[in-house]
Chain A
Amino acid sequence: MLQEADIGVGISGVEGMQAVMSSDYAIAQFRFLERLLLVHGHWCYRRISMMICYFFYKNLTFGFTLFWYEAYASFSGRPAYNDWYMSCYNVFFTSLPVIALGVFDQDVSARLCLKYPLLYQEGVQNILFSWPRILGWMSNGVLSAIIIFFFTTNSIFNQAFRKDGHAVDYEVLGVAMYSSVVWAVNCQMALSINYFTWIQHFFIWGSIALWYIFLVVYGSLPPTFSTTAYKVLVEACAPSILYWLTTLLVVVSTLLPYFLYRAFQTRFRPMYHDLIQRQRLEGSETEISSQTEVSSELPAQVEIKMQHLKANLRQRNQ
């Protein structure tokens, strides 16, 4: 009798639905188990771990810019952004790409998942959700917030930010920082996912566009409602070249550390799915030769254990 398991899979069939009713997952035939584990199990593990790490990252990036601003507002509690910007952050501007990641992302296609069953070990060994990875994403968030805040406030400091001499005020700094946050967080998503359909493009670039549309619409509401956001994009920020140049600089600088890490990791310490992806790319360009084939040998401990067991069996047979 099973006392403990990670998940329960029930097979519906001639003997009834009892197993199905008390299981986590139900399939119709036993042979579907292979696909359930190797394809969907691997995808699901990767998607969930990536989604959680990314969620922490994007909220840390947003929250820490607010925190650094407080140091400059004598910790009085004045938020750096207008209230409605903050309410809409997690709902409109950054939620859809995460959903696209959590529902659709595939690092390796289904066919290759079945061909290289060793990929499943990534889940068993908990490689994609280890503490170093989680803390790495969190520190990426804090670092991004530091870069965004200090680069924005030092570029748009107290001088005039337009040709007509208007000096910077609270509204402009808020919009500049928030735009950088939205751009950086969404472009980080674009850098992290491995699977671009029209849905991902629509969600990622659409979220960024939605922010600007929101600014225009909210800014056109009467000033008693929109307070500090009244006509801020249309009148103040959009004609200012400094604003756009600052956004470009801040977004690229924020993504640079992660991109650097990815570049060196993929080249010098690739993970199993990186190898398979590279294999696939070269396979689609040239014929796969047997020498460059990714071998599907077993892990070292499994090999050692198997040799141990074979030796025991040989001894017992003698």
Chain B
Amino acid sequence: MCVHQSINITTKSSSSILFYQFTQQNLPACKPVLTPSWIVTTFLLMGVIFIPIGLVTLRTSHSVIEIVERYDTECIPEKFRGNKVSYIKDSTILKNCSLYLKVPKHMKAPIYIYYQLDNYYQNHRRYVKSRNDQQLLHGLKSNDTSSCQPEDSSNGLPSVPCGLIAWSLFNDTFKFIRESSELVVNRKNIAWKSDRNHKFGKQVYPFNFQNGTFIGGGSLDPSVPLSDQEDLIVWMRTAALPSFRKMYGRIEEDLDADDVIAVHLMNNYNTYSFGGKKKLVLSTSSWLGGKNDFLGVAYVFVGSSSIIISLVFMLLHVKNPRPYGETAYLSWNR
């Protein structure tokens, strides 16, 4: 495939040979030429490598069992469905709700619990800017919280943690019951280790949080340091796209097929003002992660197109023999 270029110079030393080759643009080189045999080989190789990868990935994705249940409309009682926003903002009404999930197939532990929000732009620039990393590490000792405005203080006192991201903390809670016994949900170690240890201070406690006139979301226990407030840490790691999932906890036991899980949830969080959606997700995980068929399908698609292209190319190449060197095809001769 490569035409090799090399020159023999005998009278100079090796370093000046190198310099000479460099300045005369005569370095030993490989000049690849794209011949039809290489084209066909490359496409066939791509197909042969990609299709198995795609099939394996697809199979893995199918082996992940996922239960997704949208609950934000069904969890509002009938009489309030006409005015959801005032219902959710009314703090006198108890917002509990029950869902029933049916397990389609046997799910092996650990089963991950996520809450999914749609049409929620956690990647909006003003929203993402509204936090203060110094304050998360050092608490009230840091003075400059201007990046958090207007959520940096309330009633004249500074808030810890400040900013819109913390202020809009998700506060729906979920309890899972199977056959009248509660499933234990492990709510530890759901955040990234580097976040827990290095971004949130171990000596920093919530102060004057969610005390203003506008309630944006959940409140925090002022006796627990920020590095242990895992819900906050998970929430503050902002999402990439308007539809995202965040980990709530994990269930450490298996769930059998056709089990009915009763979910008692508190529907506190307001996504009704902007047409957002809330979903509860229970999912197992594989070596590839969660359930997503796209990668497998794309691999199979690219692999099979490569094979088709290589066959088409081979056919055309064999059917149209052309003596090389025909100058009738040069652009200035046509």
Binding site for B on A (CB under 8 A): 72-74, 76-78, 104, 106, 109-110, 121, 125, 127, 151, 153-155, 157-174, 194-199, 222-224, 227, 230-231, 235-236, 240-242, 245-246, 249, 252-253, 256, 259-260, 262-264, 266-272, 275, 277-282, 284, 291-295, 297, 299-301
Contact string, B234-252, partner A, CB cutoff 8 A, digits 1/0?
0001111111111100100
A contact residues around B25 at 8 Å (CB): 104, 106, 110
Q: Which applies to chain B's interface (DSSP): helix, strand, loop or mixed?
A: mixed
Alpha-carbon distance A28/B208, docked complex (angstroms): 82
> Is B104 located at the chain interface by the 8 A CB criterion?
no
User: Which of B75-83, B94-102, B123-131, B265-273 binds A?
Assistant: B123-131
> Is B12 located at the chain interface by the 8 A CB criterion?
no
Q: Which applies to chain A's interface (DSSP): helix, strand, loop or mixed?
A: helix
Alpha-carbon distance A155/B290, docked complex (angstroms): 11
B324 in contact with A230 (CB, 8 Å): no
B320 in contact with A127 (CB, 8 Å): no
A230 in contact with B198 (CB, 8 Å): yes
Known: A78-B128, A127-B331, A196-B32. Is A159-B309 also a contact (CB below 8 A)?
A: no
Cβ of B222 to closest chain A Cβ, rounded Å: 24
A165 in contact with B294 (CB, 8 Å): no
A235 in contact with B313 (CB, 8 Å): no
Cβ of A238 to closest chain B Cβ, rounded Å: 13
B298 in contact with A76 (CB, 8 Å): no
A277 in contact with B302 (CB, 8 Å): no
Binding site for A on B (CB under 8 A): 2-3, 5, 25, 27-36, 39, 42, 46, 50, 53, 57, 110, 112, 114, 116, 121, 123-126, 128, 133-134, 137, 192-194, 198-199, 237-247, 250, 283, 285-292, 294-295, 298-299, 302, 305-306, 309, 313, 316-317, 320, 322-325, 327, 329-333
Alpha-carbon distance A291/B326, docked complex (angstroms): 10
Top 7 nearest A-B pairs (CB, nearest first) are: A159-B290, A160-B290, A173-B240, A165-B112, A78-B125, A76-B125, A160-B289
A292 in contact with B324 (CB, 8 Å): yes
A contact residues around B247 at 8 Å (CB): 165-167
A contact residues around B295 at 8 Å (CB): 155, 242, 245-246, 249
A262 in contact with B34 (CB, 8 Å): yes
A contact residues around B323 at 8 Å (CB): 291-292
A contact residues around B114 at 8 Å (CB): 167
A153 in contact with B241 (CB, 8 Å): yes
B125 in contact with A249 (CB, 8 Å): no
A contact residues around B198 at 8 Å (CB): 222-223, 230-231
A235 in contact with B193 (CB, 8 Å): yes
Known: A78-B124, A268-B320, A278-B33. Is A163-B199 also a contact (CB below 8 A)?
A: no
Alpha-carbon distance A121/B332, docked complex (angstroms): 9
B3, B36, B245: which contacts A167 (Cβ < 8 A)? B245
Known: A165-B285, A197-B29. Is A173-B241 also a contact (CB below 8 A)?
A: yes
Alpha-carbon distance A187/B129, docked complex (angstroms): 35
Closest to A127 in B: B331
B30, B133, B287, B302: which contacts A253 (Cβ < 8 A)? B302
A260 in contact with B309 (CB, 8 Å): yes
A295 in contact with B30 (CB, 8 Å): no
Closest to A300 in B: B333
Closest to A234 in B: B194
A194 in contact with B324 (CB, 8 Å): no
B245 in contact with A267 (CB, 8 Å): no
Alpha-carbon distance A165/B190, docked complex (angstroms): 9
Alpha-carbon distance A9/B124, docked complex (angstroms): 58
Alpha-carbon distance A161/B330, docked complex (angstroms): 52
B contact residues around A281 at 8 Å (CB): 3, 33, 35
B327 in contact with A295 (CB, 8 Å): yes
B contact residues around A104 at 8 Å (CB): 25, 27
Known: A167-B247, A170-B123, A277-B33. Is A284-B3 also a contact (CB below 8 A)?
A: yes
B302 in contact with A252 (CB, 8 Å): yes
List 14 A-B pairs, Cβ < 8 Å.
Answer: A73-B123, A110-B25, A158-B241, A161-B289, A162-B289, A195-B31, A196-B2, A197-B28, A242-B295, A245-B295, A262-B34, A264-B313, A277-B31, A278-B33
